[in-house]
Structures are given as structure tokens and as C-alpha cells.
Amino acid sequence: MVVVAILAAGRGTRMKSHLPKVLHSLGGRSLVERVLESVKPLLPSRQIVIVGYQADEVKAAMQSIPSLEFVEQTVQLGTGHAIQQLLPHLEGYTGDLLVLNGDLPLVRAQTLKQLLQAHQENHNAATILTAHLPDPKGYGRVFCNGDNIVQQIVEDKDCTAAQRQNRRINAGVYCFGWQDLARVLPHLESNNAQKEYYLTDAVTQVGKVMAVDVEDYQEILGINDRLQLATAYEILQQRVKEKWMVAGVTLIDPTSITIDETVELNSDVIIEPQTHLRGNTVIQTGSRIGPGTLIENSQLGEKVTVQYSVVTDSIVQAGSRIGPYTHLRGHAQVGAGCRVGNFVELKNTKLGDRTNVAHLSYLGDTTTGNRVNIGAGTITANYDGANKHPTKIGDRTSTGSNTVLVAPVILGNDVYVAAGSTVTEDVPDDSLAIARERQVVKPGWVSKKRSEQNPQSKNSS
């Protein structure tokens, strides 16, 4: 049985931010959410988050996560002081306590499992996660004897020059037998460089403490400032991209591409440079996305192409070609085999199959049938200043260039709309609608006008 405690009460001064550090976002999820995600597979019996700085904001941000408990550390006197706050909440508990810093977003569940296992198999009083860093600056240094038994943990600020040479660091992840820890917690002292009660001091007082090295030191990057936040994002992106490349996705110029972990791709998808895939996006096999494209919370079918476009909250079915310069948004749905683009915006609009909206158009709140052709510059006037109104367009209907469809309006099947029409009334099936002034030509009108303006010089240029 294990109870998890996450340290999330600090302000994170080095972030230079009004936002509490643990709420800073890393690839769409806060640091503390990521930590909680990593402990999930351990099936903890309780998850306690220790909050303090802007406690209400931190709690509110985690409202939707089930069965979290919050314990408040009203003044932040250090990580040891934070864990002292658990004493009244864990009275009589005899199992293990897994403690994690809240600023440790990349740690893998597998690593935590190994730590817990080592702790239990070796009957340690405490077991801590350590790493050998090329640049250990800022971290607490861990000193062990030959058998990985911890002798001392010294914070960077408290290190002598010689101690600072040690590159084995404390990752900020600890397993304790709670009873062993509870015994020493009340006796911590703050006679150190930061005048804080260090959890690391408790570690060396509980009894037999073992250090377990993490396999991949990138996992234990602690986020203290914006530089480390950016580094963490790079590591995260690398993990995601490697996963998809191994699964058969081509990334052209991977460093210029970003992919959220929540995105799903299929084999033989090709992602071109400067393309960003976010949220709950799913892309089926054979699709080619980019260059220069943003896809967010959208589903793209097989063999879809999208170039230089923005697609959010939308669906595109198989074989459709989107872009260049298309904006699909507000639950747009594009059928199979369509062509949309060259400066086209679709909002809350559903296109049937094999329908084209090929140039310079805006369709909002519109439904079209199959094999429709929307002429260049067709615009739906769907908003009267107060309400949005729908437009319906039947199968095989064509609108001429520069058509305005004033909603609510219905065009039937097999309708033609003459170029330049402003359509305000429904058009029945199989009809031609012309809704514009007939052209008038007045021969000789120009020379007559000029001579009236300037009577002396006839036909002057």
C-alpha cells in the first residue's frame, strides 16, 4: 500500500511569475498534473497535494481530477516543513509514503515502480531516486557508501567547493516507511544557507536509506526557471516524435514540428515542416499535412492533404484537399473527395462529398449536399447582428462568383446562381436564380460627360 504526497506549496521564485510554479503549462498540461499522471499506475490508496502559495488557484486548477486531497502549508518554510503538515492526516498509517516534488514533470511511472520495488524488497527506511548529471548545478548532492547507502544529502547552496564536484544528485522523489519518517519529522532544524526545514535532512535520519539511479537522467529534470521549462518541452517533444517515427510516420524536419502527446497518428502519415498538431487530433493513414499548418482537436481521414492552413475542432473525410490558406473551425465537417481552399473559411459548416469551395469564400452555419460547386467569392451572410442563421444548399448546385447568400436561405438541388447575385429568397430545385440588376449600357455617355465638364476642349485627353 502506498500513499502519494506531492509538494506543490512553493511559489517558484525563479520562474519570475505571478502564477504558482506547479501550474505552469508544459505541452498543454500543468507541471503538477503531469506528476499526478506519473503516479497513477501505482494505484496509490491516497493522493495528497500540499498547497500553499496561491492555494486556491492550485486547488481550482486540479478540481476535475478525482479523489485528490489537499493539505495546506500556510507558510512555506521548506520541503521538510511541507511534509510535517501531513502528520495529523496520516496518524496511525503504517504503509509507505511516496513523496514527489511538484516540479518534476518528466518522471516515468516505470521509474517510480522500480523505486518502490527497491524500497520494499530491501526493507529500507527510505529509498531515494538519484541521477548522475553532466551539470548538477542547483541540485542537492547525494553522498553514498559503496553499496548505494546514503550517508548525506547536501543542498547546492550548502555545499563546499569539493562537495559541489559530486555529480550524483537528489531527484526529489522519495519512498519512506511513514512510521520511520513520522518519528524524525518533528525534530528537523533550519540551520542551513536557506534557513529552511529540508526534507533531505529527514532522509538521512530515518535509518537505512538507499539511493536508486534513474536510467535516463532527462526524466528527473526539475523545473525551477523558464529555461528548464523549455528544455523539458524539448525532451517531451523528442519522446513524442520518436514514438511516431518508430510507428511509421514521416516527419520532415522534425525540429520545426510540434506534436501534443494527445495526438494520434497512423502509419504513412507525412508531416511537413512548420506543422503543429494539438489536442485530440487523429490523422489517418496516407495523409500529408503541412507545410505551415496547425491542426487542433480535429479528425482527418485517409489520404487527406492540408497545406498552409488552420484546422480546429473539425472533421475532414478521406481524400479531401485543404488549402493553401484555409481556416476550418467551429465543427466544420468536410466530406470525402472535397477541395477547399485558396483563402476559404468554413465555420460550423458541413460539406457533402465531392464538393468544392475552391477560392476566397466564407461559409458559416451552412450545409451542402454532394457534388456542389461553390463559386469564387461566395459569402454567406449568416449573422444579422444578433443571431446566426443557417444556409442549406442541395446536391449538384453551383453558385456563381461573388454570390452573397443572405441566411436563412435554402438553395434546392441542381440550382444555378448567377454570378454577382445577392440571394435573399429560397430557390427551388432545377432553377436558375439571378438576383442582381440587369446591366445597362449607355453608348457615347463618357464623351458627353467630358464635354459637359470642359466645354472648350472637345475630346481632350
Just list the catalytic residues: 359
Q: CB-wise, 169 or 300, nearer to ligand UD1?
A: 169
Candidates 98-106, 158-166, 307-315, 379-387 — which segment interacts with ligand UD1 by CB under 6 A?
A: 98-106
Per-residue binding string, ligand UD1, 59-78, x by CB under 6 A, is --------------x--xxx
- Taking the complex as a whole, the smallest distance from the CB of residue 235 to ligand UD1 amounts, in Å, to 15
- Count of beta carbons in the 10 Å neighbourhood of residue 439: 6
The residues near 187 (Cβ < 8 Å, ≥ 6 apart) are 205
Q: Count residues binding Ca ion (CB under 5 A).
A: 3
Q: CB-wise, 52 or 301, nearer to Ca ion?
A: 52
Among residue numbers 3 through 62, which ones bind ligand UD1 (CB under 6 A)? 7-10, 21-22, 50, 52
Is 103 among the residues that bind Ca ion (CB under 5 A)?
yes
Structural element, H or E, at residue 114: helix 109-121
Give SS3 for 96. Answer: strand
Furthest-apart CA pair in the chain: how many Å? 113
Give SS3 for 191. Answer: coil
User: What residues form DSSP beta bridges with 393?
Assistant: 368, 411
- Taking the complex as a whole, the smallest distance from the CB of residue 116 to ligand UD1 amounts, in Å, to 19
Q: How many CA atoms within 13 Å lie on the side-chain side of 160?
A: 2
**Among residues 5, 39, 55, 81, the one that binds ligand UD1 under rule CB under 6 A:** 81
Is 222 among the residues that bind ligand UD1 (CB under 6 A)?
yes
User: What distance in Å separates the CA atoms of residue 122 and residue 203, rounded to the nearest whole number?
Assistant: 16
169 binds, options ligand UD1, Ca ion, none, Cβ within 5 to 8 A by partner type: ligand UD1
Candidates 156-164, 206-214, 215-223, 347-355 — which segment interacts with Ca ion by CB under 5 A?
A: 215-223
- Taking the complex as a whole, the smallest distance from the CB of residue 327 to ligand UD1 amounts, in Å, to 40
**Among residues 80, 140, 177, 222, the one that binds Ca ion under rule CB under 5 A:** 222
- Taking the complex as a whole, the smallest distance from the CB of residue 13 to ligand UD1 amounts, in Å, to 8
Provide the b/e sequence for 153-177 (b: ≥16 CB within 10 Å): bbbeebbeeeeeebbbbbbbbbbbb
Residue 192, φ and ψ in degrees, nearest 5: -140, 180
Please say whether the beta carbons of 155 and 194 come within 8 A. yes
Per-residue binding string, ligand UD1, 162-201, x by CB under 6 A, is -------xxxx-------------------------xxx-
Q: CB-wise, 224 or 333, nearer to ligand UD1?
A: 224
Structural element, H or E, at residue 38: helix 31-39
User: What distance in Å separates the CA atoms of residue 294 and residue 290, rounded to the nearest whole number?
Assistant: 8
Per-residue binding string, ligand UD1, 126-145, x by CB under 6 A, is -------------xx-----
Q: Give the CA distances from residue 99 to residues 44, 107, 206, 377, 444, in Å, rounded to whole numbers and listed in that order.
A: 12, 13, 15, 61, 92
Q: Which residues bind ligand UD1 (CB under 6 A)?
A: 7-10, 21-22, 50, 52, 73, 76-79, 81-82, 101-103, 139-140, 153, 155, 169-172, 198-200, 222, 224
Binding site residues, Ca ion, CB under 5 A: 103, 222, 224
